[in-house]
Chains A and B, each alone.
Chain A
């Protein structure tokens, strides 16, 4: 047994180098390189569950909580790469660099999850962002793709700057960048001092930057453009891995060092969450492009997560954990299906491109039906339980008005999910839609999990309760 810390990260880093070298010498053997990538992820996933050593007071923590989420990230990437490989191969732009860059981004997310100091967090975020800039601009033939890359680069750099500014304020007035030290410094802070105000500003800057990375309103402007501009496979990556990682950052940052200043950020998070839900639901109504639609849907889903975090209750944290897992599963499924379908030998862009899918490809139509209904929160699918938990947390914190707004927005968002189903099932089209294959086993499992977890919600519920227990141990 290897007795080194953070084995998965090391394995991935070394593996990336090997794969780059391998690809250099065996340009033709793309399939073999890809198998190597998958193999690498499998090994890392195996070791990620096995990593129990947790030194206290260091910049990098490893515990069961981070391990489970690293495992989720690694398995998620395996699924994403599975969808991506087919998609890139079909579009004839298959390059192994795509996967190596993605792997670097994956390492960035893992660092974010384990980070226990603000600088380590910054490093993780930068590693992730740099990989994403490259991935978004990957489709060189498309001007939209380049535009998206530049847009994300400029905005991302600015938000990183804001993050650094916030970090420096916190460091300047608490004298530490390690989460636990900051927490112990904040206990003795005087509410009326200048230090307090500076730290509040620091927290607000960090919140703004993280909300940007999360894609929450009012920092959401980049989301639809970048989702639309990049390849659909990049969009899957964008809508799952960074969201999970940023969610963990939120959880660790706000509930360990900043918990004493909860009255400062709680209202901000509730406001950001509500705004994201409202904007995500309303702006999606008029979208014709499926990627933009799903982008706005992602914004509103992120809103649910942030909102329940802002409640600062056990129910709220639990709801946000549950919602994050469900959201990632649903996003994986919905984008995964779209990578498989092509219309007129191009990728699917408009919703109307999907018309008549139920006649030509009943299998894919059924998958989209399930994912859309789950996203809309219709029981008995798992999306319902996620929304139920958020609303329950809202009601038990006595935010009745907010819960009413949230459910009305759920009805609004149901409209555009139904519009997609309507197009697929009730509309007709002459020209044919094609797919790479008639069915895909991983995609089927992904979608069926939405049904299975909906009918047996305790499976996921037990996992998140377990995570809650660990989290309450490390946070107090």
Chain B
């Protein structure tokens, strides 16, 4: 254990440094890059330390920091982690470090503010994943909108105003309903601590309403079909680094919230509604895959593919409801699959958005029809990109396979139909990923004279690190399982014990 409040440091160091970067005048780009790199590297090292020190043989909360914050309202500054939080914190620190490397080679107007907003975002994300007081969680959850709103709005594409407003209002709408449920739960349980919600007694009707509020709140964030429409717009307009952080970490906040709030608090309602929610996830997986295939814009294609892949996450989570009575081991597999899928999608989508960013930098177009035959000019890059596309389609040996495989296995434990429908995704995701690879990388480049140049050193480093970790998680996923195992089992056990 540590002598110092490690979680608070992980949250507040990047936020403070980020604020300094934004508010400081006339800071040169080089210095701000250096500060950002060092800060994000420091956070990565500290969060690796956290992972090392985390005792993964138990599902107990660890590194608890609990101080009274607003005494009259019984709100605490309550930070802690379990296996699920630790893995997501590590992902956040890792992706932010890659963004810091990538952004160093890019040119932006007011670069110090740009980097500052990312640091703030990193701190807030770590806060979201480690807050165990529901109001504190909500505060971090909502504050995430501000830096991302500005990142997309200031440094985004042509249609950014529409996209940012849509993104902000969509997510705000979802979260305010969630806020009411949190306050209602706190009214009954007498405390805002998330764990105290687990033991409240709700009538069935209340539970259904609270479940729906959480489903809307977190479903918009993940996003689930049919409330996903803000995501493609936001992605298309966001700068590359913005897309990366949005796809790889921010979407995970929704999945994390579902595991933290929806599963334990509204178990009975969830069991009652599980089939409908599973169908929603299957629609996301299958229908959105077809939508992705039809896209002309590379970013939109990957954005829709994100929605489809996050469908696996929600499927894994909702399967827990479905399997809790009959088949606990399959439920555990489903939830672990959802977790692995979150981490793996975090890596793969980040990689693909980096790739699209690199192509866009050269051709100034994200449309498939404007980008042909990149492989002739950028062979190393093309190798890497085709690897990521394969991982995106769930090729065995990559991390994409592990999560989907687990979720499909788990859904077969529920019914053959679910398993069959979920498995079609392997085919569908391969088809749109390969379509993109075929056109962009290997299409005939007859008239295209745009200067594609092999990617720079920084970009190569970023992509290589991602390849290593995608392979590592695909071949030896053991380490990740070790971290999340006990927490997942703990959740499932408390669910089976707690339900009526």
Contacts of A395 in B (CB 8 A): 180, 183-184, 187
Tell me whether B476 is interfacial, beta carbon within 8 Å.
no
Per a CB cutoff under 8 Å, which of B23, B146, B179 touches A391? B179
The minimal Cβ–Cβ distance linking B65 to chain A, given in whole angstroms, is 16
Interface residues of B, dominant DSSP: helix
The minimal Cβ–Cβ distance linking A71 to chain B, given in whole angstroms, is 22
A/B interface sample: 25 pairs, CB < 8 A: A373-B146, A378-B145, A379-B138, A380-B143, A392-B186, A396-B187, A400-B180, A404-B177, A407-B180, A408-B176, A411-B169, A411-B172, A411-B173, A414-B169, A415-B165, A418-B165, A418-B169, A421-B153, A422-B164, A425-B153, A425-B154, A426-B161, A457-B69, A457-B70, A461-B71
Q: Which residue of A lies closest to B110 (CB)?
A: A362
Tell me whether A458 is interfacial, beta carbon within 8 Å.
yes
Find out whether the CB atom of A408 lies under 8 angstroms from the CB atom of B146: no
The minimal Cβ–Cβ distance linking B180 to chain A, given in whole angstroms, is 5
Find out whether the CB atom of B160 lies under 8 angstroms from the CB atom of A403: no
Contacts of B160 in A (CB 8 A): 426
Contacts of A426 in B (CB 8 A): 153-154, 160-161, 164
Contacts of B451 in A (CB 8 A): none
Tell me whether A465 is interfacial, beta carbon within 8 Å.
yes
Tell me whether A222 is interfacial, beta carbon within 8 Å.
no
A383-404 to B contact mask, C-beta < 8 Å, 1/0: 0110011011001100010011
Contacts of B72 in A (CB 8 A): 318, 461, 465
Contacts of B500 in A (CB 8 A): none
Q: Which residue of B lies closest to A457 (CB)?
A: B70
Tell me whether A410 is interfacial, beta carbon within 8 Å.
yes
Interface residues of A, dominant DSSP: helix
Interface residues of B in 92-126 (CB under 8 A from A): none
> How many A residues, CB 8 Å from partner?
35
Additional A-B contacts beyond A378-B142, A418-B168 (11; CB < 8 A): A373-B146, A379-B139, A384-B142, A396-B187, A408-B176, A411-B172, A415-B165, A418-B149, A419-B165, A422-B165, A461-B73
A358-380 to B contact mask, C-beta < 8 Å, 1/0: 10000000100000010000111
Interface residues of A in 406-464 (CB under 8 A from B): 407-408, 410-411, 414-415, 418-419, 421-422, 425-427, 457-458, 461
Q: Which residue of A lies closest to B150 (CB)?
A: A425
Q: Which residue of A lies closest to B141 (CB)?
A: A379
Contacts of B187 in A (CB 8 A): 392, 395-396
Contacts of B173 in A (CB 8 A): 408, 411
In the complex with contacts A384-B142, A422-B164, A458-B70 CB distance below 8 A = yes
Per a CB cutoff under 8 Å, which of A403, A411, A414 touches B180? A403
A residues whose Cβ falls under 8 Å from a Cβ of B: 318, 358, 366, 373, 378-380, 384-385, 388-389, 391-392, 395-396, 400, 403-404, 407-408, 410-411, 414-415, 418-419, 421-422, 425-427, 457-458, 461, 465
Rounded to whole angstroms, the CA-CA distance of A391 and B173 in the bound complex is: 15
Rounded to whole angstroms, the CA-CA distance of A432 and B33 in the bound complex is: 31
Find out whether the CB atom of B142 lies under 8 angstroms from the CB atom of A410: no
Rounded to whole angstroms, the CA-CA distance of A408 and B23 in the bound complex is: 33
Find out whether the CB atom of B176 lies under 8 angstroms from the CB atom of A422: no
Per a CB cutoff under 8 Å, which of A388, A407, A411, A418 touches B135? A388
Rounded to whole angstroms, the CA-CA distance of A177 and B141 in the bound complex is: 52
Rounded to whole angstroms, the CA-CA distance of A388 and B183 in the bound complex is: 9
Rounded to whole angstroms, the CA-CA distance of A404 and B70 in the bound complex is: 24
Q: Which residue of A lies closest to B165 (CB)?
A: A418
Rounded to whole angstroms, the CA-CA distance of A379 and B178 in the bound complex is: 14
Q: Of residues B140, B168, B179, which shows the largest number of chain A Cβ atoms within 10 Å of its Cβ? A: B179
Rounded to whole angstroms, the CA-CA distance of A411 and B146 in the bound complex is: 14
The minimal Cβ–Cβ distance linking B158 to chain A, given in whole angstroms, is 11
Find out whether the CB atom of A415 lies under 8 angstroms from the CB atom of B71: no
The minimal Cβ–Cβ distance linking B351 to chain A, given in whole angstroms, is 29
Find out whether the CB atom of A458 lies under 8 angstroms from the CB atom of B71: yes
Contacts of B71 in A (CB 8 A): 458, 461
Find out whether the CB atom of A404 lies under 8 angstroms from the CB atom of B143: no
Contacts of A414 in B (CB 8 A): 168-169, 172
In the complex with contacts A411-B173, A425-B154, A392-B183 CB distance below 8 A = yes
Find out whether the CB atom of B142 lies under 8 angstroms from the CB atom of A379: yes
Q: Which residue of A lies closest to B184 (CB)?
A: A395
Closest 9 pairs between A and B when the two form their complex, measured CB to CB: A407-B176, A379-B139, A395-B183, A426-B153, A411-B173, A379-B142, A458-B70, A392-B183, A411-B172
